[in-house]
Amino acid sequence: AQVYFRVKADEESVKGSIYNVNNFRWQIVNLARTTLRNIIGTLTLKSANSERGKINAELYSTLHTETQGWGIEIVRTELKQIDPPKDVQETMNKVVKAENEKIAAIDMASATETVADGVKRAKIKEAEGLKQAKILQAEGEAEAIRLVNEAAEKYFIGNAQILRKLQALETSLQNNTKVVVPEGSDLVNVIGEMAGVAPLLGKK
């Protein structure tokens, strides 16, 4: 940092620069260094380089206040470049690296959580879909059974004999049984005989 200052021209200020401070030039340099260390010590390297205007303002304010009784006027301060010692630089770099790694880890954890949440939601929706499909299938089967029962009650009440004939025909068809119908015979009568008499079996 560069500090521009001058001794005020009035007699009182000249005396102050001689009697109130021992070697005001050295004291100003030492005060500037201490002040900069205190300011920069609270910042990261990145923020220190991006806030040089703010650091300049704080440095100027501190020097202006501390040198009031020395007969000195602080004209301005200029912090052109922050170039800390090697060990300090390494420490600050480690801090920056650790901060970047921390941010990266947080981002990774957040992304992983988002993916896991998406997979979880997808599985829940899939399970809900399967459940709904089974419910609809069960409801469809129940409805089919209800309609069959309703039809049986509606069309076969008082027609038990016809129902028995049809059941016998269904059994025969399922067993690949050939039904021989004599010429001139009524198919319904043959089915009736099958309901009470063993069916006539032909060669398969």
Q: Would you give per-residue pLDDT tens digits along the chain (204 residues)?
A: 788 889 888 888 888 888 888 999 999 999 998 988 888 777 766 677 778 888 889 999 999 998 888 989 999 898 877 666 677 667 767 777 788 888 888 888 877 878 778 888 888 888 888 888 888 888 877 877 777 677 666 665 555 555 666 666 666 666 665 655 555 555 555 555 554 544 444 444
- Both structure tokens of 133: 């499909």
Residue 168 pLDDT: 65
Residue 80 pLDDT: 73
Between CA 45 and CA 23 the distance in angstroms is 33
Q: How far is CA 132 from CA 5, 79, 137, 195, in A?
A: 84, 71, 8, 43
Residue 201 pLDDT: 44
Domain 2-83 has CATH 3.30.479.30: yes
| Domain extents in the chain | 2-83, 84-157, 158-196
- Both structure tokens of 38: 């205190």
Residue 28 pLDDT: 92
Residue 60 pLDDT: 92
